[in-house]
Amino acid sequence: MSTLLVIRSSLAGAASHSNRLATRYVERLTARDPALRVRERDLAVHPAGALDATRLAAFALPAEARTAEQARFVAESDALIDELKAADVVLIAAPMYNFGVPSQLKNWFDQLARAGVTFRYTAAGPEGLLGGRRAVLLTTRGGRHRDAPEDHVVPYVRTMLGFIGIGELEVVYAEGLAISSDERERALAAAEAHIDVLAARAA
């Protein structure tokens, strides 16, 4: 029995295109595999804490040297990491905000990137410790930015996942959503078709 971790990051809730696409992916996947375990985390509703000096110091300290507050911060990070470790597939729904990922998704990655826990430094460079998993990124944006220099969503997500050892990433784009209603419908239909293909392939 496999486990899917769904990470949502849109501030738009039920009106979010990325959330709707994520729901479609989950529905298609569970229809093909009723035994699939699905764990969801909506970072807009339950945000990961922003990295600050106290949290950063806590990650570097041995357990016995942490204050109660620092121990709580590390426990929060540990819970997010354990959630990811328990997953075989991670689905990330990420709208483009000002050419980058939502800040709440950045905070989630900051909580995951822990030296000695999710990656380690070696003579050959950093090595991710969470291999054996694959990821799907659903990214929505108002304009068209795929493969353009201003797209800081896909490269960032790919880099962060690879940094912790998740090198297999499928990307589903829904672009031009703010250009016109016709463009939006075409883009969403194409994204939905892509999702259906991915779900069928995963079954």
Task: Kindly report the pTM of this predicted structure.
Answer: 0.96
Label residue 37 exposed, middle or buried (CB < 10 Å: 0-12, 13-18, 19+).
middle
Residue 203 has pLDDT above 70, yes or no: no
Quote the pLDDT of residue 72. Answer: 97
Determine contact, residues 92/10, Cβ cutoff 8 Å.
Answer: no
Residue 101 has pLDDT above 70, yes or no: yes
pLDDT bucket at 149, cuts 50 / 70 / 90: very high
Question: Which CATH architecture does the domain made up of 3-202 adopt?
Answer: 3-Layer(aba) Sandwich (3.40)
pLDDT bucket at 148, cuts 50 / 70 / 90: very high
Average pLDDT over residues 147-159: 98
| Residues in a beta bridge with 4 | 38, 89
Quote the pLDDT of residue 43. Answer: 98
Quote the pLDDT of residue 202. Answer: 84
CA angle 195–108–91, rounded 5-degree value: 15
Residue 1 has pLDDT above 80, yes or no: no
Question: For residue range 159-181, what is the model confidence (pLDDT) as tens digits?
Answer: 999 999 999 999 999 999 999 99
Average pLDDT over residues 15-40: 97
DSSP E strand boundaries for the chain: 3-8, 37-42, 89-95, 119-122, 125-128, 134-140, 168-174
